[in-house]
Amino acid sequence: MSPGLVITGMGLISPLGRDVKEHWENLIAGKSGAGFITRFDASGLPVRIAAQAPDIDMASTLPRSVYKSSAPFMQYAFLAAMEAIESSGLKSRDVKDMGICMGSALSGAPELAQSGEEFARSKSGRISPHLVPRVLGNMGAAHLAIELGIRGPALTLSTACSAGGDAVMTACMLILAGETDGVVAMGGESILSPPIISSLAYAKALSRNNDNPAEASRPFDAARDGFVIGEGGGAIVIETEERAKKRNAPIFAAISGWGNVIDGYHITAPEPSGKGAAACMRKALTKAGLDPSDIDYVNAHGTATQLGDAAETRAIKEVFGEATPAISSTKGATGHLMGAGGLVELVTCAKAIETGLIPPTINLTRADPQCDLDYTPLAARARVVRRAMSNSLGFGGQNSSVILSRYQSGSKYV
C-alpha cells in the first residue's frame, strides 16, 4: 500500500496578494490583479497590460546572496517556498534530507533578452557574470537549497504552462519511489519583457483590451480575446502522512492522484476535441481510485483564449458528463502565471476544500455557446468541497491534472 501524501505547508505571491491569506481574500471578493504595465515603458507595444506581482523591496526582503544573483521568477518562487516551509512548521533540522521540485515555463528568458540588448549596445563587449545564474531554471531550487542546507534530490521541470502541476507530480513520484519522504514543490514566473510580450501578442495569444485591464482576462466568455500575462510564485510542502503525523504538522489536504499526457498535435494550439486533456483528467482519477462524480470542484486552466477554453470545455464534458462538478477559472483575476500557475491554483483548491467556497470566474458576463457549462461566474459560491482537481495545460500539448482530497487520518490517498 502506497503511503499517504499530504500537503503540510502552502505559500504564494500573486497579483492578488503577498501571501496565501491576502490572495484568497481578494480572490473570493472577485478582485482583479490586472493593470497597466509599470515596470518599463510599454507605450510602443501592442499589449500594455499585465497582472503584475505586488511591489516588494527584494533587496531588504531576500538574503543578500539570493538577491544579487537571482531573477524575479526565482525570487517569487523562493519567497513562496519560505512561506510554505514556515506554515508547515518545519525546522532547519527537518529540511536537510528533503527534495525540491521547481517548475517554470520561460525561466530567465526576460533576463536573456535584456542582456542581449545591453550587449549589443556595449562597446567593451562585457556583460554581467550573473547572467547565466539568473537565466537557468534550476537556480530557483538551488537558492532555496543553499539557504536552508537542503541536500535531497532536486529536479526542475520546464513543461510550459503545466510545469507547476508537473512539479507536484514529480515530487509525489520521488516520495513514492523512496528517494525522500518530503519535497518542496515550487514554481515561479515573470515574463514581462518587451520581446516576449510582442511575440505573444502577434501570435494572437494575448488580450489587447488595453483600455480596460481589469476586465481583459475573460475566461470562457464569448468576448474573450486572449490571456493576460501574470507573474508570481507558488509552493507547497508535500510529505508522507507518517512523517507529517510524527512531527504534528498541520495537514491542509491530501494529494490523491495526478496525470500527465501530451496531445501530440500542435506546438501552440490544443487538440480541438480536448481528448488529450480528457485523457489526463481520467489518468488522475484512475490514480486516485475515484469516479468523476467524486470530484466537487475543478479549477480549470481557462486562460481566456478562444481555442483553449473551448477545447477544455469539451474535455470536461467528455470526462464528467452529467456529473459535472463546480468549475471556475481563477485566471480572470490573476492572469496567466504560466509555470507558477499550477501551484498557485493548487493552493486555491486546498483553500476551497478548507473553506467550502468556490472562487469565481470574474469577467464572465456573456455566455459562449462553445463554453456552456457553469463556471461560477462573477461571484464566489458556498459548496462542500471534499475533492478538487486542478488542470494546467501548456504549449506543445502539455496536460497536467492533480487531485486533492480533504484529509482524513488513515485513508488511502494514492
User: For every residue of 6-39, which 3-state class applies, written as one string?
Assistant: EEEEEEEEECCECCHHHHHHHHHCCCCCCEECCC
Q: Can you read off the three cell numbers belonging to residue 167?
A: 512539479
CA angle 253, 294, 408 (to 5 degrees): 35
DSSP letter assigned to residue 232? E
H, E, C per residue of 152-173 = CCEEEECCHHHHHHHHHHHHHH
Closest CA to 227 of 204, 193, 195: 204
pTM of the predicted model, to two decimals? 0.95
The catalytic site residues sit at 161, 301, 336
In a domain, 303, yes or no: yes
pLDDT of residue 36: 98
Instruction: Say which CATH number the domain at 32 has.
Output: 3.40.47.10
Based on the fold, state whether residues 56 and 92 are members of the same structural domain.
yes
pLDDT of residue 64: 93
Tell me the β-bridge partners of 119.
none
Based on the fold, state whether residues 52 and 180 are members of the same structural domain.
yes
pLDDT of residue 413: 44
**Last residue within a domain, chosen from 246, 279, 310:** 246
In a domain, 234, yes or no: yes
DSSP letter assigned to residue 179? S
β-pairing, 357-358 with 381-382?
A: antiparallel
Based on the fold, state whether residues 324 and 374 are members of the same structural domain.
yes
Based on the fold, state whether residues 64 and 166 are members of the same structural domain.
yes
In a domain, 413, yes or no: no
Tell me the β-bridge partners of 183.
99, 238
**Last residue within a domain, chosen from 196, 218, 246:** 246
In a domain, 38, yes or no: yes
The alpha carbon dihedral of 239, 136, 38, 66 has a sign of positive
Calculate Rg over the CA atoms of the chain. Answer: 20
Collect the ranges in the chain with pLDDT lower than 50: 1, 412-414
Residues ≥6 apart with Cβ < 8 Å to 177: none
Q: How many domains does the structure of the chain reveal? A: 2
What domain range is 293 assigned to?
259-405
